[in-house]
Structure 1
Amino acid sequence: MHYDAIVIGGSYAGMAAALQVVRARRSVLVIDAGERRNRFASHSHGFLGQDGVPPDEIAASSRRQLEAYPTLSWLEGRVEAVSGQVDSFTVTTADGESHRGRRVLLATGVLDQLPPVTGLAERWGKAVFHCPYCHGYEIGRGRIGIIGTGPMSIHQAELLTDWGDVSLLVNGAVELNRDARSTLERRGVTIEETPVDRIEGHADVVMADGRLLRFAGLFTAPRTAPNSLAEAMGCALEATPMGVQVRTDAESKTSVPGIFACGDVARAPHSVSLAVGNGAMAGAHVHRSLLWPETVQPVRDAVGTR
């Protein structure tokens, strides 16, 4: 079958995009590897209508609604390669199957590059978070520790003071000039220069000097990056304060004609609600490109990496 659109990634942005296209009675294939970025979290917050609902329930309900449309096909698998051009793309999965489509939409999300602190990865999404709007309220105004990763940690520390008593654990990763230090101190942020040794318990940080700092929750600002598929497809990438993402224009088009991108892989900041909104808009742009193929032009002047 030759689909009108093939969506790579069946999480929130991908499903929101697919919904717009199938509601236009166009054929869509969603290929999903089952690796939602928030799969480690027990509950999703800050998403109107779904606040406090477990992420797997949101995803399952969304998929059921999407599959009610007869022009939707769903394939569980991992995409290995995309080739071809506008109106004639071939998407190949890890099991060697090939699928043809007129448009391709990347909704693969990003990979979180967590700081190499012992005990942190095991608590990611449970006691260690990145988004205060998603998880800050649940801290209950308790003590918040921020594991430093770079300049974004300073912004994170300032922002989180509305959610609790904040300590910035520099951990050798954050350079604090006089102005930054002064700003943090005015906001009541405690600055800990001693390196972090490990995290244990719920969110207890053992410092290199043996001190134990107990927190209600921890935050960190991981660097993010798309998987290798986007670059292999020839899509231009760009650097952001949060990491690397696929460069898109206002119509969700990448630098490759006929290939679109949405969600965390193409925009920052990141949250479920923002991904859904961006995905819905991207789906509409994909549909419009099918009606007016002369509008399928690549985004120009990409900056950053390629």
Structure 2
Amino acid sequence: MTDNKYFDAIIIGGSYAGLSAAMALGRSLRTVLIIDSGLPCNRQTPHSHNFLTQDGEKPAAIAAKAKEQVLQYETVKFFKGEAIKGKINDKSFTVTTTEGEEFNAGKLVFATGIKDILPDIKGFAESWGISLIHCPYCHGYEFRGKKTGIMANGDKAFHLASLVKNLTQEVTILTSGKSLFTPEQSEKLQEHAISVVETEVEEVHHKNGFIEHFSFTNGSQLAFDAVYAAVPFQQHSDIPASLGCELTEHGYIKVDHLQKTTIPGVYACGDNSMMLRSVASAVAGGNLAGAMVNMELTHESF
């Protein structure tokens, strides 16, 4: 909590990207407010991987340590709550929270992440991030050599299959409907002994999020150790769009190579603006966003 109402920058989202941006700004003595509701998208994931010095650590532990370190910088403050509204002023921005608090800043950084839209399949949500996973780079090594499924269709399924095949020889694609592969893709899948099941998935049977088997609408069952799923998503916050930030054709916040959005003074970093969803990528994007915000503030005052 803070009594101050004006900051050099407000960062909406206090997970890996947001905290990384805050550290870069705090080390340059910029006044920063982080607003975060405390509900990261990977809160069910037991371990984080592919991040140097933190491989195998719990995501929550990484975030907690990061927050502790970031708040050692006296110019960085933290507000636990949800930002629900943003407004562009003449030379600043105003952010309003669900509690009715208003804060103002010269720059905005959105590190708000994305929200996965999970299918209405019993057991899916409970297994998401544990053994129902999204990324071979984040989770694939732990399930190497295991019986693996891919819940996707068409190009997405084919792309995932090409990556997963390097990790295990037991791969089955679950399209939950007529497969949409080109003749060339179908031939390649057959060449690599990757089977395709078109029957719709009815239920994910699991124990504490670890898959035991899938059941299908025709009464059949298949055992899996892990299943990759390509699910749709939406922006976790609608504030960027309400301010006029342009989205890409895939639904990410459009940013340039400096993490700038299409609205002057507004930056975005992390999962909301990049396809590669990982802690390492979020930290890197946040660090760059924080440095670029500081550079812009410097150019305006020096």
TM-score normalised by the chain length of structure 1: 0.91
Give 1:223's match in structure 2, choosing from 214, 232, 241.
232
> Does residue 299 of structure 2 align to residue 289 of structure 1?
no
Aligned residues: 291
How far does the alpha carbon of each residue in 1:159-202 deviate from its partner, in whole angstroms, 9 at most, with x for none?
Answer: 11112111001112751121111122223311112222211123
What is the alpha-carbon distance in structure 2 between the residues aligned to residue 196 and residue 150 of structure 1? 17
Trace 1:238-249 onto structure 2 (pairs within 5 A). 238-240=248-250, 244-249=251-256
Aligned to 1:114: 118
Distance 1:86 1:53, change over 3 A: farther
Match of 1:34 in 2: 38
Post-superposition CA distance 1:202-254 (Å, at most 9, x none): 321112222211111111011222132221121111123xxx11111111111
Counterparts of 1:173 and 1:286, CA distance in 2: 48
Q: Specify the SS of the correspondent of 2:263.
A: coil
Among all aligned residue pairs of Structure 1 and Structure 2, give the percentage whose two residues are the same amino acid.
Answer: 36
- CA deviation map 1:242-287 (0-9, x unaligned): xx11111111111111111111101112111111111111111111
Residue 255 of structure 1 corresponds to 262
Write out aligned runs for 1:135-284 (5 A): 135-148=139-152, 151-164=155-168, 165-172=170-177, 174-201=179-206, 202-203=210-211, 204-226=213-235, 227-240=237-250, 244-284=251-291
Of the structure 1 ranges 214-223 and 148-157, higher mean CA displacement relative to structure 2 is found in 148-157
Matches within 5 A, 1:41-190: 41-85=45-89, 87-148=91-152, 151-164=155-168, 165-172=170-177, 174-190=179-195
Q: Is the 8 A contact 2:106 2:265 kept in 1?
A: yes
Query: Hey, what's the Cα distance between the residues in 2 that align with 1:123 and 1:149?
Result: 20
Which consecutive unaligned segments of at least 5 residues does structure 2 have?
Answer: none
Contact 2:114 2:234 in 1 (8 A): yes
Q: How far apart, CA to CA, are the structure 2 residues paired with 1:190 and 1:135?
A: 22
Distance in 1 of aligned mates of 2:182 and 2:14: 43
What is the CA–CA distance in structure 1 between the aligned matches of 2:174 and 2:215, rounded to whole Å? 11
Question: What letter is aligned with 1:198?
Answer: E
CA distance in 2, matches of 1:39, 1:195: 28
Is 1:194–1:208's contact at 8 Å kept on the other side of the alignment?
yes
User: Is the 8 Å Cα contact of residues 178 and 198 (structure 2) preserved in structure 1?
Assistant: no
CA shift for structure 1 position 149: 5.2
Q: CA deviation at 1:150?
A: 5.2
Which runs of 5 or more residues in structure 1 are unaligned? 295-306
Q: Distance in 1 between matches of 2:129 and 2:284?
A: 22
Q: Give the 4+ runs in structure 1 shifted more than 4 A.
A: none
Equivalence map 1:3-22=2 (5 Å): 3-22=7-26
